[in-house]
Amino acid sequence: MRLTSGQRLLELYRYRELVRNLTVRDLKLKYKRSVLGIAWSFLNPLLMMAVYTAVFSVLLRAVSLPHYWAFILTGVLAWTFFANSLNAAVLAFTRNPSLITKIYFPIEALPIGTVLANFVNFLVMLAILLVILVGAGLHLGLSLVLLPVVVIAQLGLAIGLGLLLATWNVHLRDIEHFVTIGLTAWFYLTPILYPLDAKALPAGAAKYIPLLQLNPLGWYMQSFQAILYYGTWPSAAILTLMLAFTLLILVVGYTIFAGQRARLPEAI
């Protein structure tokens, strides 16, 4: 019997314990036999921050910002969660063919579980970042109350895109390679290493700011940076666009998955 999207969501809720178990499984597999464990999740962004700070601020002098390292670390942590989630979610169906073909369960739990495992890592890293920022003397204002909104919005974006890409990857295995390449390009087109502020950029780069503002992922990064780096309230327009885009991707991603659900076991 073909279920409606609403019935599928209710079924997923009934299987919420399975989602939790899949999330825990992914976390255990990631850090199995690792001495440092979850510390690796912060060491990689920390190394990226050190390299990018040295290159863009010291060597090239391309960006002029106080505490530039904090600006980079804020964006890199948010980006790491997003990129790791998509890289794992796109493979969620193709790497579990025996589960999908032999056992009945809401298979959307597979990509959702991988995203949630990365989300747990992100929350830990975010807590460490807050301690570092406070210790470094950066001003964190009342806008912190909006941090959960931005975090949940990015979680929704990762789940929606994860479902979409995992579904497409069953029919076209090249998708997983496109994701790797696309994320590399998307990283540099997103204001993670540079602010969308003409005063902080070289004169020749300012003309590209209006174009870069069209990047949807930039709305999430700018919101994180406003709250955690500048200590200000994110733009109401950017928050509205961010939330609307999250809802759109969730609806589109789940709708496309639901439309292909019956064909996926045969296509894997």
- Residue 127's identity, in one-letter code, is A
Among 209, 234, 222, 217, which residue's Cα sits nearest to residue 83? 217
Range 96-129 burial, b when 16+ CB lie within 10 A, else e: eeeebeeeeebbbbbbbbbbbbbbbbbeebbebb
Letter for the amino acid at 225? Q
State mean pLDDT over 23-44. 73
Confidence at residue 240, expressed as pLDDT on a 0 to 100 scale: 97
Regarding predicted confidence, which is higher, 4 or 263? 263
Lowest-confidence pick of 3-7, 81-85, 165-169: 3-7
Q: What is the pLDDT of residues 196-223, one digit of tens each?
A: 887 777 777 778 888 989 999 999 999 9
Q: What is the pLDDT of residue 10?
A: 87
Residue 267 in this model has a pLDDT that exceeds 60: yes
pLDDT the model gives residue 64: 77
Q: Tell me, what's the pLDDT at 154?
A: 98
**pLDDT per residue over 109-124, tens digit each?**
999 999 999 999 999 8
Q: Which two tokens stand for residue 68?
A: 């530039």
How much is the pLDDT for 5? 67
Taking the model in full, what pTM does it have? 0.92
Query: pLDDT of 45-90, one tens digit each?
Result: 888 888 888 887 777 677 778 898 999 999 999 999 999 999 999 9
